[in-house]
Amino acid sequence: MSKFSKEDIIRMVREGDVEFIRMQFTDIFGQLKNVAITSSQIEKAVNNQIMIDGSSIEGFVRIHESDQYLRPDLDSYAVLPWRPQTGKVARLICDVYNPDGTPFIGDPRGALKRVLQKALSMGYTFNVGPECEFFLFQTDEKGLPTTRTADEAGYFDLGPLDHGESTRREICMALEQMGFEIEASHHEVAAGQHEVDFKYAEALTAADNIMTFKLAVKSLAQKNGLHATFMPKPVFGINGSGMHTNMSLFRDGKNAFADPGDPRGLSKEAYSFIAGLLAHVRAMAAVTNPLVNSYKRLVPGYEAPCYLAWSASNRSALIRIPAARGQATRVELRCPDPSCNPYLAIALCLAAGLDGIEKGLTPPAEITENIFAMDEAARAARGIENLPGTLKDAVDLMCADPLITSTLGGHIVSQYTAGKYAEWEAYRTHVSQWEVEKYLLTF
């Protein structure tokens, strides 16, 4: 059941002193896009008549087939609290459609909807709770971002050490005004690093929420003269930022991952879901960890995963089962980082898990020891594989996995891989400061 009708939206805009409505969508590389319309256009907007030129959007369409229509998800209506409160700005999250009324195959939100439909046909709904980490950095005299922070705090520290406290407070309050339920916020391990956790939601809403979250964090940081970044590893030698993704399947209102009769309290579906994730996670990495820089986070020593293993307790494993059971039973995948396109990342997680269930896969034995303390031989003896080490390896692996490519669809795969190979090539041929320092004098 929808929360809002077209009439509700028109009334809220007219009576709520709303001047602008941002019609938002996400490109395939995870960038939030919008076209702002004035309130006089709201009837057109709710009747799906707002057109965009898709040829200018990364990964969308070619110039000769560029007209696309935005179909707002009416339930996503929200006022942006960080914009002026007279002549307000609201937003509507939209699906992208072709002129002939069919969904555009390159719309990431549509890709997630397709997998959710598949889950539904198997009797499941899918809940996702992300843990987004980010850094707040200072800006320079020109207002440009730096990687400096005056904040010396660490895990769970508080002010006056924690210089991000006020910005975090404003982020939490703004998101609550937009309907988020904020569960916790805290300083993270690294100086200048923070985490804000919001309540899990049905997967499509969770992906929308991640996009809203990133916009809120960046906008409010900027208001306070700071730069917020979701770059996975902005500073060498300290922790990077992850987006641990907690997932559960529900059937008839009950958590399908819970089974009180099992020694670990997990159902057969939960085990198969874990096995499906492990079978495809290397091929998913190009999406869950989409940047050259993502692979600099996935190294030993910084609480980020590197090896394919699961555990009911151990944080060194890629997949962890948090202690809560019953309706809160969930699988936590620790590799995604917050630079990913959440629609595509969540679509792939679900597709991989469902594949495990359909095939009745069983996961390898649980690893309870600290994997970071094992050497390569010890890991090999236990059959523990590595996550890909570079973006290039990840994209190669993605192309070789038919489940992953068919879930994304040919259009997204070709646009995505072309973009990512180009990004890799630009990086590979760049001469970095590290090389100059390492070789210039010696050779």
> Could you list the active site residues?
53, 131, 133, 188, 195, 244, 315, 332, 334
240 contact choice in ligand GLU, Mg ion, none (CB below 5 to 8 Å, kind-dependent)? ligand GLU
304 contact choice in ligand GLU, Mg ion, none (CB below 5 to 8 Å, kind-dependent)? ligand GLU
> Which residue's CB is nearer to ligand GLU, number 129 or number 356?
129
Q: Min. distance of Cβ 189 from Mg ion in angstroms? A: 8
Which tokens go with 107? Answer: 């719309």
Name the segment binding Mg ion (CB under 5 A); options: 35-43, 109-117, 192-200, 387-395.
Answer: 192-200
> Which residue's CB is nearer to Mg ion, number 94 or number 306?
306
Query: What's the distance, CA 336 to chain centroid?
Result: 7
Q: Min. distance of Cβ 185 from ligand GLU in angstroms? A: 13
Which tokens go with 32? Answer: 């939030």
Q: Are strands 50-53 and 18-26 parallel, antiparallel or unpaired?
A: unpaired
> Which residue's CB is nearer to ligand GLU, number 54 or number 336?
336
Q: How many helices (H) and strands (E) does the chain have?
A: 13, 15
DSSP 161-174: T-TTHHHHHHHHHH
Residues in binding contact with ligand GLU, number by CB under 6 A: 9
What residues numbered 221-240 form the site for ligand GLU, per CB under 6 A? 239-240
Ranges assigned E (strand) in 32-181: 32-38, 50-53, 67-79, 88-97, 125-138
280 binds ligand GLU (CB under 6 A): no
Residue 131 marked as a ligand binder: yes
157 binds ligand GLU (CB under 6 A): no
Q: What is the gyration radius of the CA atoms in the chain, in angstroms?
A: 22
CB neighbours (10 Å) of residue 52? 20
Q: What angle do CA 284, 397, 332 make, to 5 degrees?
A: 25
303 contact choice in Mg ion, ligand GLU, none (CB below 5 to 8 Å, kind-dependent)? ligand GLU
Q: Checking phi first, is residue 192 left (phi over 0); if not, alpha (psi -120 to 50) or beta?
A: left
Q: Min. distance of Cβ 314 from ligand GLU in angstroms? A: 12
187 binds ligand GLU (CB under 6 A): no
CB neighbours (10 Å) of residue 430? 9
332 binds Mg ion (CB under 5 A): no
Q: Which of 220, 274, 304, 412 binds ligand GLU (CB under 6 A)?
A: 304
356 binds ligand GLU (CB under 6 A): no
Q: Are strands 67-79 and 88-97 parallel, antiparallel or unpaired?
A: antiparallel
Q: What angle do CA 187, 190, 191 make, to 5 degrees?
A: 80
Could you tell me if 95 and 73 are in contact, meaning their C-beta atoms sit under 8 angstroms apart?
A: yes
Name the segment binding Mg ion (CB under 5 A); options: 147-155, 187-195, 198-206, 426-434.
Answer: 187-195
List binding-site positions for L-glutamate: 239-240, 297, 303, 315, 334
Contact footprint for ligand GLU (CB under 6 A): 133, 239-242, 297, 303-304, 334
Residues found near Mg ion in the complex (CB under 5 A): 195
